A = this chain, B = another copy of it.
Amino acid sequence: MSSTVTSSPANSTPDSSSPGSSTPVSTRAAARQLITPQRLAEFFAPRSIALVGASETSGWSRFIVAASAAVGYTGPLLPVHPRHDKIFGRPAVRSLRDLAEPADLAFILAPTEAVASVIDDAAAAGVRNVVVLASGYREAGPGGQELEEALVSQAAGHDIVLLGPNTLGFLNTAAKAAPFALTVPLPLTPGPVGIALQSGALSSALLAFARAQAIGVSTVASLGNEAMISTADVLDYLVADEQTKVICMFLEEIGDPAAFSAAAARADQAGKPIVAMKVGASQAGQAAALAHTGAVAGDDAVVDAALRQLNIVRVTSIEDLLSTAALLGYHRWPRGRRMGVLTASGGACDIIADRATAAGIEIPPFGAATTEAIAAHLPSFANPRNPLDVTGYVLANARTSLMTAIDYALDAAVDDPGLDFVLFTGFTAPEVRPPDEAVAGLLEARVGWLAERLRTAPIPVIPLGMTCTDLAGYGRELLAAHGLHSMAGMELTSRALGHAFSWLDGRGTVRPLAGRPGGPAGQAAAAGQPPVVWSEARARDLLSAAGLPVVPGRLARSADEAAAVARELGSPVALKISSAAVSHKSDIGGVLLDLSGDQAVRDGYGRVVQAARPHGGGDEVLVTAMRSGGIEVLAGVTVDPGFGPVLAVGLGGIWVELLRDTSLRLLPAGVDEVRRMLGELRALPVLEGARGGDRADLDVLATVIAGIGELACSVSGLRALECNPLWVSGDQVEALDVLVVADPDGGNNPDHELNGAG
C-alpha cells in the first residue's frame, strides 16, 4: 500500500499546492481565475473555429474537417497557414491577425516552436480560446515543463483559456462543434454520455464502441497536459452541461485530488454518476502511464479507496465504462435490486442468474398473480418462474400476432410488487428490414408497443441483447425512432447493473479528499531526500504524547537497568534494540520475546546489543511488557505523494498478507468511519470473538485507531506511522510495536529527542 516516494508532477491547476511545480503562484492564480463556469461553457461551444497550421497533407486537419461534418457543424472552419492560400477549398489567411473577425476558438496545429507566436497572434486578434495539439511540453521532461509554464503564463496574461497542450481537442454534439483531431466512427449519435480522457488517442476506441452500441455522447474531451483546463474543470463543465446525464472518464493520474474530489462531490450533488477507468493497476501499467504523461501514478489500492470515497464507479474495460454509462444515462434507475428476468432460453436464465448473483442482484420468485398471468401464455411444459424461459416453442410458433408470451410476461412482471426492475431479452433488432411487408409491419408495431410499455411501466424495464454485438442498420434506426435503448449482452449488462447499484448506494456519501499536505513533507519528498526510520522509543513517545496507549516499557542502557525495568513491569518482557540505525530489528536478532527472570533479561540485553552492534545499534534497549491472548491488529498510515495520508486497518502480523483483507481510507476519517472500516473486514468474526476466542471492543478500538490517523495527519514530514501489532483484548488496546518513517527534518515534537534514540 505504500507509495513510491518520488517527486510528483507539476500540477496544472494552480490553486492547489503542487510542490513539484515551480510555476509562480501568481501565474497559476491568474490562470485559475480565467476558468469560470461561463468561460468553460463558451469554450466547449465555439461557433467559429480557426485551424492554425492546417494543411491538406496533415491528417489532423482532415480529421477536424471530418469530425465537424460528423457533428453537423455549420459555422466557419477558418484555415490559417503562413504559406498556403487555400486549404480544403477554403481560402486561408496567413495569421490569426488577418481574420475578418476573431474566431471563437483557435485550434493550433502548429509545431511546438511556433505555438508561442500563434498565442500572441490570437491575443492580438481577440481570440480568447485555444486548443494546442503540439507535444514536447511537460511530458518531455524539465525543459518541456518550463516551456509549458511559459505557455500558461503567456495565455493567462492574454486572457486566453487553453486546452492542452498535447491534446486532440474535443467534440460537442449538442453545440455541434468538433475541433477534434481524431477519426470519428460514423454515425455519431448525440446523447447523454459525457466523456473526458487523459489519453486522447483512446477516444476513437471509445467512440467506436459507443457507435456499435448506439450509445450517444454529449461532449468528448481529450484533456492533454491540463496546463490550464484540468480534469476537474472538465468534470465541472460536464456537471453543468445540460445534455450530459452521466460522465465517463479515462484517467491515468489524479493530479490534484482536492480539486478532483470537489468536482466529484458536485457531480454527486447534481445526481450525475461518474464512471471511471483508471489505469495503472499493474506495475507494467504504471510504467506505461509514466512514459505516457510524465506523471507518477499513485498506488492502485489508494486510488481504489479514493474513487470509492468519491462514489466514482471504477471499471476496468472500455466496454464496461460505456455499458455502465449507457445503463445510467438511458434507463430509469431501479429503486432496488430485485430483478425479474424474461428470456426465451433456459441457458440464458442460468447465465443471467449466475452473473446477477455475482453482481449482488436478487432474482426473487414471481408473485402469485404474475405466475398465474404468465402461465396462461406458456405451453404446459414451460415453468412460469423467475428467471423465466418462455421456451423457443413460443417464438417459433407465434409470429403472426403482435404480442408473444414474453410480452404478456412483461405486462405481468412490471406490476409485480416483489420486483424493482425487469431485464427483457425478448426483442431482437434485425440489421435488415424483413422483406415480407407483413412481418416488417408486425415488427414495427411491436417496437412501438414495447417503447410505450417501457415508458408506462411502474418499474424500469431494461431490454438487452444476448451477447455483445453491434446494433446496426435497420434495427438501430428502428430502436432510435422509438427512443429505445438496448443493452449489449448478458455479461456486460449484469456488470453494468452491479456498478449502477454501487453508485446508487453511494449517493450522498461522498467525502472530499484532503490531498497531500503541503509543507516540509511534500517538499522533502519532492527533493528526493531518503526518509529516516525513528527509533522505536521516539515513535512510542509520539503516540504517548498524543494520549494513545502503548504497552508499558522503558529504555535501558545496561543489563542491570534492563533487569530493573523488567522487575518493574513484571514477567515476561520483550527486549528490542532501540536505534534509528536499525530498521529491521527482528531480522538481525535485535528482538527477544518472553523473557522471565533477572538472568534471562540480563543475558538478553547482552545478546540484543551484540546482535545490533555491526549495524550501529548502540546500547539502548527497549524493555516492554508482554501481552498474551488478545488479538493483533494492524493500524497503519502511509502518506501517498498524491492523495496524502491513507489509513489501513486489518488483522496484524502475518495475517495482513495472508488474509489480504485490509480496509483503506484516505484521511481524515473519524471514529465512526473507522468503525465502518472494521465492519468491512472479512476477519470481523475474529474481532468479535469467533469460536470463543478473545474479543475486541470495537468502539474502543476504533477510537484508538482514529486517534492514530489524526496523529499521523498532524506530523509534518511523516511518510508512515504503523502500529503492528496493535493489541486488543476487550476494551484494552495497546500498541505493541510502533514504526515511524519520516523526512530527515520531519516530526513536530523535537523534544522527543531528549528521550533517547532519535
Shortest CB distance A590–B (Å): 13
Q: Among the interface residues A280, A387, A395, A658, which one has the most CB atoms of the partner chain B within 10 A?
A: A658
Shortest CB distance A645–B (Å): 26
Chain B contacts for A199, CB-based, 8 A: 345-348, 350
What is the chain B residue whose CB lies nearest that of A137? B381
**Known pairs A467-B318, A472-B470, A690-B654; A135 contacts B381 (CB<8 A):** yes
CA distance A284 to B391 in the complex (A): 19
List the 4 closest pairs (A to B, CB-CB), nearest first.
A199-B347, A59-B396, A282-B357, A292-B346
What is the chain B residue whose CB lies nearest that of A206? B467
Chain B contacts for A470, CB-based, 8 A: 212, 469-470, 472
Chain B contacts for A181, CB-based, 8 A: 396
Q: Among the interface residues A199, A389, A683, which one has the most CB atoms of the partner chain B within 10 A?
A: A199
A127-165: which residues lie under 8 A (CB-CB) from chain B? 135-136, 139-140
What is the chain B residue whose CB lies nearest that of A211? B469
Chain B contacts for A353, CB-based, 8 A: 279, 282, 284-285, 287-288
Chain B contacts for A197, CB-based, 8 A: 347
Residue of B208, B285, B357 near A466 (CB, 8 A) is B208
Starting from the known contacts A182-B392, A658-B686, 15 additional A-B residue pairs (CB-CB under 8 Å) come to: A60-B396, A168-B392, A201-B346, A201-B347, A201-B348, A205-B466, A212-B469, A281-B357, A284-B354, A288-B350, A291-B385, A319-B489, A470-B472, A472-B472, A653-B691
The answer to whether A140 touches B381 (Cβ under 8 A) is yes
Chain B contacts for A287, CB-based, 8 A: 353, 385
The answer to whether A285 touches B354 (Cβ under 8 A) is yes
CA distance A287 to B97 in the complex (A): 73
**Known pairs A472-B472, A659-B659; A288 contacts B349 (CB<8 A):** yes
Chain B contacts for A427, CB-based, 8 A: none
Chain B contacts for A317, CB-based, 8 A: 351, 355, 489-491
Chain B contacts for A320, CB-based, 8 A: 491
Chain B contacts for A202, CB-based, 8 A: 345-348, 351, 466
The answer to whether B208 touches A469 (Cβ under 8 A) is yes
Shortest CB distance A409–B (Å): 15
The 25 listed contacts between A and B (C-beta, < 8 Å) are A59-B397, A168-B392, A199-B350, A202-B345, A204-B466, A205-B466, A208-B465, A209-B467, A252-B350, A279-B350, A280-B350, A282-B357, A282-B358, A284-B362, A288-B346, A288-B349, A288-B387, A289-B350, A291-B346, A292-B349, A319-B489, A472-B472, A654-B691, A658-B685, A660-B682
CA distance A472 to B432 in the complex (A): 14
The answer to whether A209 touches B658 (Cβ under 8 A) is no
Shortest CB distance A365–B (Å): 9
A231 adjacent to chain B (CB < 8 Å): no
How many protomers of this protein does the assembly include?
2
Residue-by-residue, is A685-717 near B (CB-CB < 8 Å gives 1, otherwise 0)?
110001101000000000000000000000000
Shortest CB distance A207–B (Å): 10
CA distance A181 to B395 in the complex (A): 12
What is the chain B residue whose CB lies nearest that of A198? B347
Shortest CB distance A388–B (Å): 10
What is the chain B residue whose CB lies nearest that of A292? B346
The answer to whether B391 touches A201 (Cβ under 8 A) is yes
A383 adjacent to chain B (CB < 8 Å): yes
A363 adjacent to chain B (CB < 8 Å): yes
What is the chain B residue whose CB lies nearest that of A432? B186
What is the chain B residue whose CB lies nearest that of A397? B59
A30 adjacent to chain B (CB < 8 Å): no
Residue of B282, B318, B319 near A354 (CB, 8 A) is B282
**Known pairs A280-B350, A284-B353; A209 contacts B683 (CB<8 A):** no
Q: Among the interface residues A60, A209, A349, which one has the most CB atoms of the partner chain B within 10 A?
A: A349
The answer to whether B208 touches A357 (Cβ under 8 A) is no
Chain B contacts for A349, CB-based, 8 A: 288, 292
Shortest CB distance A139–B (Å): 8
Chain B contacts for A657, CB-based, 8 A: 685
Residue-by-residue, is A237-251 near B (CB-CB < 8 Å gives 1, otherwise 0)?
000000000000010
CA distance A468 to B349 in the complex (A): 23
CA distance A631 to B178 in the complex (A): 66
CA distance A489 to B555 in the complex (A): 62
Chain B contacts for A318, CB-based, 8 A: 351, 466-467, 489-491
Chain B contacts for A347, CB-based, 8 A: 197-199, 201-202, 205, 250, 252, 279, 292
Residue-by-residue, is A263-278 near B (CB-CB < 8 Å gives 1, otherwise 0)?
0000000000000010
The answer to whether B396 touches A279 (Cβ under 8 A) is no
Residue of B63, B292, B465, B658 near A659 (CB, 8 A) is B658
The answer to whether A285 touches B357 (Cβ under 8 A) is yes
What is the chain B residue whose CB lies nearest that of A658? B683
A459 adjacent to chain B (CB < 8 Å): no
**Known pairs A279-B351, A654-B691; A293 contacts B346 (CB<8 A):** yes
The answer to whether B363 touches A284 (Cβ under 8 A) is yes
CA distance A346 to B472 in the complex (A): 29
Shortest CB distance A583–B (Å): 17
Shortest CB distance A300–B (Å): 9
Residue-by-residue, is A334-369 near B (CB-CB < 8 Å gives 1, otherwise 0)?
000000000011111111011111100011000000
A53 adjacent to chain B (CB < 8 Å): no
CA distance A440 to B547 in the complex (A): 76
Shortest CB distance A680–B (Å): 14
A399 adjacent to chain B (CB < 8 Å): yes
Chain B contacts for A201, CB-based, 8 A: 344-348, 389, 391-392
Chain B contacts for A4, CB-based, 8 A: none
What is the chain B residue whose CB lies nearest that of A343? B201
What is the chain B residue whose CB lies nearest that of A144? B381
A456 adjacent to chain B (CB < 8 Å): no
A749 adjacent to chain B (CB < 8 Å): no
Chain B contacts for A345, CB-based, 8 A: 199, 201-202, 205
What is the chain B residue whose CB lies nearest that of A320? B491
CA distance A60 to B472 in the complex (A): 27
A747 adjacent to chain B (CB < 8 Å): no
CA distance A293 to B383 in the complex (A): 11
The answer to whether B58 touches A396 (Cβ under 8 A) is yes
A79 adjacent to chain B (CB < 8 Å): no
